[in-house]
Amino acid sequence: MSDRQRISSGSKYEPSIGFSRALRVGRTVYVSGTAPIWPDGSCDPDPEIQARRCLEIILDALAQAGASAKHVVRTRMFLTDPSYADAVSRAHGAVFAEIRPASTMVVIVGMLDPRWKVEIEADAVMD
């Protein structure tokens, strides 16, 4: 498995759960579900700000793997309430309006942390 590059966010949960923030295998980068957490552990209650934070973390992980937003081919957005769709869409569109990856937005019952209103995943394929 020497062709795997693990990208860490430094989360204390990565080793205990057994996951990486992102994983690059060849030209493909898979970014794990990304929650809206700031370095101090805080979480803004606004769903648009949460989505922007998720995307910041995703873009940072992509950069560490040698990729960028232009390489993203698919995103998945998980919301805890359908009323957040417009706010999350604005944040997603601000990054991906020209790229237009395949995307899914799903409403779910809840997140691991009740403060989280959105979590986002992304897959990228590098040129």
Give the model confidence (pLDDT) of 51-100 as tens digits: 999 999 999 999 999 999 999 999 999 999 999 999 999 999 999 999 99
Paired tokens of 97: 């309006």
Q: Which pLDDT band, with edges at 50, 70 and 90, does 9 fall under?
A: confident
83: alpha, beta or left? (left if phi > 0; alpha if psi -120 to 50): alpha
- CA 6, 126, 98: angle at the middle one, nearest 5? 120
What's the rounded Cα separation, in Å, for the pair 91 and 60? 16
pTM of the complete model beyond 0.85: yes
Q: Which of 77, 71, 85, 69 is nearest to 106 (CA)?
A: 77
